[in-house]
């Protein structure tokens, strides 16, 4: 799952080295996939009216459908000082 998300997100952004994907358990059958990108690339990952973000969530849902786990995809911007 991590490789798939990494491939999709790095294909969209300019600063590929700043992409960070982590997974956090949120209960027994729920995982949170947190995607962190540079502030300048947020618009590319979210897309107009959230269409790209929705497509990423649909892709994750379809890939993990048979696994019995539910993934929640959250997109954040990198907070650097």
What's this model's pTM, rounded to 2 decimal places?
0.89
C-beta separation of 17 from 9 below 8 A:
no
Number of domains forming the structure of the chain: 1
Bridge partner residues of 22 (DSSP): 34
Range of the domain at 45: 2-77
Spell out the per-residue pLDDT of the chain, length 81, in tens.
Answer: 889 999 999 999 999 999 999 999 998 999 999 999 999 999 999 999 999 999 999 999 999 988 888 999 999 998 764
DSSP state of 14: S
- CATH number, residue 64: 3.30.300.20
């Amino acid at each position: 799952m991590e490789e798939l998300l990494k491939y999709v997100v790095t294909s969209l952004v300019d600063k590929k080295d700043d992409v960070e994907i982590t997974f956090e358990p949120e209960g027994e059958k729920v995982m949170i996939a947190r995607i962190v990108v540079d502030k300048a690339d947020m618009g590319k990952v979210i897309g107009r009216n959230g269409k790209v973000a929705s497509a990423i969530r649909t892709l994750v849902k379809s890939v993990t459908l048979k696994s019995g786990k539910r993934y929640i995809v959250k997109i954040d911007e990198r907070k650097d000082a």
